[in-house]
Structure 1
Amino acid sequence: MTVTQTTAGAAAVPPPHPRRWAGLAVLSASLLLVVMDMTVLNVALPEISADLRPDSVGLLWMVDVYALVVSGLLVTVANLGDRWGRKRMLLTGFAIFGLASAGVLLVDSTGQVIALRALLGVGGAMIMPSTLSMIRNLFTDPRERATALGVWATMAALGGALGPILGGALLERFSWHSAFLVNVPVMIVAIIAGLVLLPESRNPKPGRWDALGTALSVVGMVTLVYAIKHFGKDGFDDTGALVAAAVAVVTLGWFVRRCLRRRDPILEIRLFRRPAFSAGVLAALTVSIAMAATMLLMAQWMQLVQGYSPLETGLRLLPEAVGAAIASPLAPALAARIGARLVLAGGLAVTGVGYLVIFFWPEPLTYLAVAVSLGLVGVGLGSLAIASAVIMAGAPPEKSGSAAAIEETSYELGGALGVAVLGSVAAAVYRSDLSTEELAAEGVSGPPAHAVRESLGGAMDVAREAGAAGAELAARAQTAFTESLQWAGLAGGALLIATATAVWLMTPRDLDVSSGHD
């Protein structure tokens, strides 16, 4: 069996594009910026909240709307890119992202920030799958494609690490508007470079547009991500989340059935029949689940327990980026030498061990333990380069949009699941160490007790208002939060070790992404 399906008499593989490496530079730089922007805005949200004073609902929508829009549009824009032209879709995404970022100059209310974040989500949904599908079509040689996807994975990891550094540096000198405006000149350069360097590609036989399938995918994905987020925040008795989950089950079930019955579906679900493809998607999903929650908790731990500034926190998160920058480009060559199966499963296992370090490190937990953990996680992320190679190689060029949409959707779902599931584990541990009865015995009850148990930030605010008497409360809350981080590390590590085992069993023994055969 081959990773790229071939038949006797099939057309020869087209020659490589002469400007493919320059094109990769454009695609990688655009991905770097989009990933950085997501983390920059997370750093900027406290400043935005302090300036605009949103209510709890407004703040929730400022945080959630980007992910809801991206997850809802990924399948649609990937399919549109296959039809309309992947280069056109990418450049349109650049333009929307840049215009939305410039629009911050006109923003002066919570509703306008929410609208701006939604528009950024539209641009991001156009950019992210387009970069992957264009790499699939630019690099016809499987060995070169694996290397290119290693670079792509490196940029994704670097973006996640550099975003907090850039955000911290900007916020120390400028207002929160700078977190948006920094995108504008970069997008202008990206549009010009893309026009010059990137070739156009599309599905030569796209078939009829499936309007019903499009509607089902948008409604299903938005309601699914909404339900996951609100189950994690409000529990399983939240009525809105239950309704959203029911809608998601019905619409996505209908969507999958429709895709399986159509000859040319909007999303090629049949790709999951390939064990290697499914293993790659599972790897991407699980890593995203673990990272979404633990990285958020680590950033809070560094700022609220260790006392680092946002910029110092960003710098102290760099070991992960360094590990990923070393491992991701080397992963394809290593896979060619020892086997893609071992690199894919082994990378997941190393990432899992990285998270387990946080739990098993001798007390007290120090930054040294976190740095070791981050370094191992970064090295393990090299497996995602192989996961991307397996996913993209498993689809024919005309279906590269479907493969890209599936991979990007796995990251979006993983992020939502990570915060909801592992975040709930951490919250449960944190609250168990700060019971209502114990707080009442110390004179903290009512709304202040609720704030203490809701978050470490709330606990620190209550402690500051209590003056000298709040020092013990602050210390208790910090200890409880540290323990919650450790247990989240245990849960994330165990999940990754289990996934590594599953991926090892699912992946063909002779999988070779550098030659195109499994």
Structure 2
Amino acid sequence: MTTTLDSARRHTAPQLDPKRWAGLAVLCASLLIVAMDMTILNVALPAISEQLRPGSVQLLWIVDIYPLVVAGLLVTASGLADKFGRKRMLMTGFATFGVASALVLFIDSAPGLITVRALLGIGGALIMPSTLSMIRNLFTDARERAVALGVWGSMAAVGTGLGPIAGGALLEHFSWHSAFLVNVPVMAIALVAAWLVLPESRSHRAGRWDVLGTVLSVVGMVALMLAIKNFGKHGLTDPAALIATVVAVGALGWFVHRSLHRPDPLLDIRLMKRRALSAGLIAALTTSIALAAMLLLVAQWMQLVVGMTPLEAGVHLLPAAIAAGILSPLAPRIAAVVGARTVMAGGLAFGGLGFLALFVMPAPLTYATVALSLTLVGIGMASLAIGSAAVMSSSPAEKSGSAAALEETAFELGGALGVAILGSVAAIVYRAGLSTGDLAGMGVTGDAAEAARESLGGAVAIADQAGAAALAEQARDSFTGALEIFGVAGGVLMLIGAAAVWLLTPKGMSVTGAH
């Protein structure tokens, strides 16, 4: 009898993959590289501009093509992974990322680099949702899954912080090509490791491929990202942004309608009816908005106001990554004590306080204040670990691809919105501090005045050319003031996000026991 009961228990208990933690290491290492690639280019841009001499439009595409391709293909990539195998798509992503990185050796023009960045975007789109959905399938025990997602979240944070440091260190000794070539050996190792330790998984409910849905999702997401970016750069009346908005609304509206009325949709929108999943998506969106805008503006302040080198700036940005890297793996344990709802909403509230510190701390703004702000924002990023656990735990295993795509899409949109909305707030305040009348009084008029009002980098360059030290000083003061007001806007946004997450998250929800 005892033997029979033991046999029954073995058959009914979830089977734990013995290689699951080794598999997590592979998934986290790949995510680390993809996250680093999102920020490493910021450090390499000056060297790239010096050698390739891209025009202003080409430079814009070098920066923007990667997130555009990633956002456009996330839904399609998750659908492909569900249908043809998540391990297969992940390894395809590794190979694409590695080959694209190696191709940089043959690049001698801006269009060539744009092509390489687009290929990297394809690889990134195949990798990112696959890592989340494979964690959902690797870790059948909810408690272990929460810990695994915490570690995964810390890799995303650490990768974002390490990107500028790695880029700065490489560029001190090698050409800008090294910022790409560093990916090649890592992806080669990841390919072999994935083949050895990761199990294959796919959705058994995946039906016929939705070709029209694929086209609608790609067109709609790319148009939405373009609309956000153009509104942020050119204002609410920009014709290109308005046209992109119409295309995005039409394509995505049709896609959502199609997804809701098909038995086997490319993306299961109906998952968003689950309050815990929606709360996790809001946490991902809010965190991404905050992180993207904070890193962009604070990095500029460190280099152009304080006078740090790119490598020094990268090192001084580390408090956010360190705080998130330490707390993300611990988040499930904290949630077990105080509740997942408290950790998610409380983390976002901490991030909001970090933004507000830029405004409320005594003037003048110093690095000590900025370090405090970055640390609090990093604590807020740790809440993403519980948000990810809420998203993945509240969706069935066969829908893990859709859940992963929803979260990654929220994260990508958040990055674009952060730069567009919060970056625009800072830009408006900065321009207000550099009126055309003041510039004319310094002898700066016409295109030079417009360039000075467009960016702090432009103002410093104009000041150096004209020998106008007063212009550089006023521009730096104006940018510092803009960063302080940006803190208010970002703080309010994160506190609103915290309130929304608190209201949406079911009371008593546990990410270590929910399915």
Pick the TM interval, shorter chain: over 0.9
After TM superposition, the score normalised by the length of structure 1 is 0.96
Following TM superposition, by how much is the alpha carbon of 1:442 offset from its aligned partner in structure 2, in angstroms? 2.1
Counterpart-to-counterpart distance in 2, 1:56 and 1:459 = 17
Counterpart in 2 of 1:327?
327
Which amino acid is the alignment partner of residue 397 of structure 1? Answer: A
Following TM superposition, by how much is the alpha carbon of 1:286 offset from its aligned partner in structure 2, in angstroms? 1.1
- 1:32 alignment partner, SS class: helix
Q: 1:297-348, CA deviations, whole angstroms, 9 ceiling, x for partnerless residues?
A: 0000000000000110111011111111221011001101111000110000
Counterpart in 1 of 2:498?
500
Following TM superposition, by how much is the alpha carbon of 1:42 offset from its aligned partner in structure 2, in angstroms? 2.0
Counterpart in 2 of 1:237?
237
Counterpart in 2 of 1:3?
none
Following TM superposition, by how much is the alpha carbon of 1:124 offset from its aligned partner in structure 2, in angstroms? 0.3
Counterpart in 2 of 1:7?
none
Which amino acid is the alignment partner of residue 435 of structure 1? Answer: S
Residues 85, 201 of structure 2: 8 Å contact kept? yes
Following TM superposition, by how much is the alpha carbon of 1:205 offset from its aligned partner in structure 2, in angstroms? 2.5
Following TM superposition, by how much is the alpha carbon of 1:292 offset from its aligned partner in structure 2, in angstroms? 1.1
Counterpart in 2 of 1:124?
124
Which amino acid is the alignment partner of residue 429 of structure 2? Answer: V
Counterpart in 1 of 2:441?
441
Which amino acid is the alignment partner of residue 495 of structure 1? Answer: L
Gapped runs of 5+ residues in structure 2? 1-10
Residues 93, 122 of structure 1: 8 Å contact kept? yes
Structure 1 residues 14 and 235: CA distance shift in structure 2, 3 A: same
Counterpart in 2 of 1:170?
170
Counterpart-to-counterpart distance in 1, 2:14 and 2:120 = 35
Counterpart-to-counterpart distance in 1, 2:16 and 2:410 = 29
Greater mean deviation of Cα atoms: 229-238 or 157-166: 229-238
Counterpart-to-counterpart distance in 2, 1:407 and 1:391 = 7
Instruction: State whether structure 2 residue 470 is matched by structure 1 residue 472.
Output: yes
Counterpart in 2 of 1:74?
74
Counterpart in 1 of 2:29?
29
Following TM superposition, by how much is the alpha carbon of 1:13 offset from its aligned partner in structure 2, in angstroms? 6.3
One of 507, 512, 515 as aligned partner of 1:514: 512
Counterpart in 2 of 1:143?
143
Following TM superposition, by how much is the alpha carbon of 1:355 offset from its aligned partner in structure 2, in angstroms? 1.0
Counterpart-to-counterpart distance in 1, 2:198 and 2:383 = 27
Identity of aligned residues (%): 64
Instruction: State whether structure 2 residue 59 is matched by structure 1 residue 47.
Output: no
Counterpart in 1 of 2:272?
272
Residues 78, 405 of structure 2: 8 Å contact kept? yes
Q: 1:456-511, CA deviations, whole angstroms, 9 ceiling, x for partnerless residues?
A: 000000111122xx111111000001111111111111101111111111111110
Instruction: State whether structure 2 residue 189 is matched by structure 1 residue 195.
Output: no
Counterpart in 2 of 1:351?
351
Counterpart in 1 of 2:486?
488
Greater mean deviation of Cα atoms: 48-57 or 423-432: 48-57
Residues 294, 485 of structure 1: 8 Å contact kept? no
Which amino acid is the alignment partner of residue 496 of structure 1? Answer: M
Gapped runs of 5+ residues in structure 1? 1-10
Counterpart-to-counterpart distance in 2, 1:209 and 1:39 = 34
Residues 75, 405 of structure 2: 8 Å contact kept? yes
Residues 390, 513 of structure 1: 8 Å contact kept? yes
Following TM superposition, by how much is the alpha carbon of 1:276 offset from its aligned partner in structure 2, in angstroms? 1.0
Q: How does 1:252-263 map to 2 (within 5 A)?
A: 252-263=252-263
Residues 71, 125 of structure 1: 8 Å contact kept? yes
Counterpart-to-counterpart distance in 2, 1:364 and 1:42 = 27
- 1:173 alignment partner, SS class: coil
Structure 1 residues 12 and 266: CA distance shift in structure 2, 3 A: farther
Counterpart in 2 of 1:403?
403
- 1:402 alignment partner, SS class: helix
Counterpart-to-counterpart distance in 2, 1:502 and 1:242 = 29
Residues 143, 514 of structure 1: 8 Å contact kept? yes
Pairwise CA RMSD of aligned residues?
1.0
Counterpart-to-counterpart distance in 2, 1:293 and 1:200 = 37
Q: 1:158-195, CA deviations, whole angstroms, 9 ceiling, x for partnerless residues?
A: 00111110000011111100001000011100001111
Counterpart-to-counterpart distance in 2, 1:492 and 1:478 = 21
Residues 355, 373 of structure 2: 8 Å contact kept? yes
Counterpart-to-counterpart distance in 2, 1:445 and 1:243 = 33
Which amino acid is the alignment partner of residue 396 of structure 1? Answer: P
Following TM superposition, by how much is the alpha carbon of 1:237 offset from its aligned partner in structure 2, in angstroms? 2.0
Instruction: State whether structure 2 residue 85 is matched by structure 1 residue 85.
Output: yes
Residues 287, 380 of structure 2: 8 Å contact kept? no
Counterpart-to-counterpart distance in 2, 1:133 and 1:36 = 21
Residues 205, 264 of structure 2: 8 Å contact kept? no
Residues 392, 403 of structure 2: 8 Å contact kept? yes
After TM superposition, the score normalised by the length of structure 2 is 0.97
